[in-house]
Chain A
Amino acid sequence: MAKKIKAIVTLQIQAGKATPAPPIGPALAQHGINLMAFCKEYNARTTNRMGEVIPAEITVFSDGSFKFILKSPPTAFLIKKAAGIDKGSSNPNTQKIGRLTRKQVREIAEIKLKDTNALDIEGAMRQIEGTAQQMGVEIVD
């Protein structure tokens, strides 16, 4: 069918726990998306990865129909997991709360490469390092 794109929305949500409450409800209902169809399908596809944040990229078409694909976990989630922290620093400029080695940065970049606009692994690593810096996570050799 002639699928003209109206909107592209990525939801960063917990695997297997999609419900029509925020952020899913207000973010998708405004585009006329069948919320229960999305929640049911998302939960079915992610239920074996409970505990992870699995983003869903939803493409909304001009007639309100949609498709979605699952993306790799958000960079921030992978950084927190690798650095062993629960959340980023509330003052990343002065308060450093964790460390990542360059090897860990490379591992995260390999996971994220297909979902970023980076041209190569080095470009993806620079993006990961930027996000880590903004979270108060230092990069060490």
Chain B
Amino acid sequence: MDWIEVSLSVDGEAAEAVAELLQRYGHQGVAVEQEGIPPDLWDDGEAEAPRRLTVRAYIRADERAEAARLELETALGHLNMLYPMPTPVYKIIQESDWAEAWKAHYHPVRIGRRLLVRPPWAAAPAREGDIEIVLDPGMAFGTGTHPTTQLCLEALEDRLPPGARVLDLGCGSGILAIAAARLGAASVLALDIDPIAVEIAGANIAQNGVADTITVQQGSLDSLITSSRRFDLIVVNILAKVIIAMCDQHLGQVVRPGGLALFSGIIEDQTDDVEAALRKTGLQPTARRQQSDWVLVESVRPQP
């Protein structure tokens, strides 16, 4: 069974009426996608209301499809008298096992010298000495495919001292905490403010058999500053402006004197600002790593 995708590109004002109309013919509802997402849009709550939207519905390509198309076009013609309507675009979509099709986006990824990140369904030939991380992509950032995550994994492989006490602040899927545990950390605390991320990280940690080493909790920097816990290495893969804000909240204090701190999620031209903020919180930047326009800053808390 094939499907016919009907789509119309409309402004926000017409989207509701068009969605209502398509809902009458579409299978189980409609999808409305924002057009023209800017290349530098971040998940920081500053998105503007969308100007244009694509409304899509899916009709079974059977003997009733042509009648549905005619009815739809007639109704759009009437709507056009009240508000200008674009011409609908039709596309044949082949029936697919969509529950499985999305998996084609994920493949095993080799990172650094020994790390191999793979989704549960994709086997990869292991080499001697490989450290394998199995990760089910889902509702938490950190699938191993993004440069910011890859930079952290490489830095952990190079810099993590054996037996270290590690903090993963903003753990997302838990990928960095898992890597730290597999690379020889004695203990890892993985924190995220998002309860869904905490739940997913917990499942990924269990799947990788490192639950004995990693504690995953919902929490933020505030809860650590007031405790006496200090870490040999912290890894923070968030965003430049969040890192800078954390520096104002004494982020450097959670690193023991002589300990290391890795910061990622930084665009190249934000790096100087992040390094200035790190110095103010008592951390000394020591090196940068870069992949495309993403930068990771390595730093140390100097001995008194």
A-side residues, CB < 8 A to B, are 1-14, 17, 19-29, 31-38, 41, 53, 59, 61-68, 74-77, 80, 87-94, 116-117, 127, 130-131, 133-135
Contacts and interface: CB of A to CB of B under 8 A. Distances in A.
Contacts, number: 214
Nearest to B58: A22
Contacts of A8: 33-34, 37, 47, 50
Contact of B57 (A23, A33, A53): A23
B14 A25 contact: no
A29 B101 contact: yes
Given A4-B42, A61-B43, A12 B137 contact: no
18 contacts: A1-B141, A1-B149, A2-B265, A3-B42, A3-B239, A20-B97, A21-B27, A21-B98, A23-B27, A23-B28, A23-B30, A23-B57, A27-B31, A28-B98, A35-B99, A65-B143, A76-B23, A91-B78
A12 B19 contact: yes
A11 B41 contact: no
Nearest to A8: B34
Interface string B142-177: 111110110000000000000000000010110000
Contacts of B37: 5-8
Interface in B31-61: 31-34, 37, 40-43, 47, 49-50, 56-58
Contacts of A88: 17, 20-21, 24
Given A23-B28, A92-B78, A93-B78, A41 B98 contact: no
B75 interface: yes
Interface majority SS (helix, strand, loop, mixed), chain A: mixed
B209 interface: no
Given A7-B33, A21-B28, A1 B142 contact: yes
Contacts of B40: 4
B105 A64 contact: yes
B196 A67 contact: yes
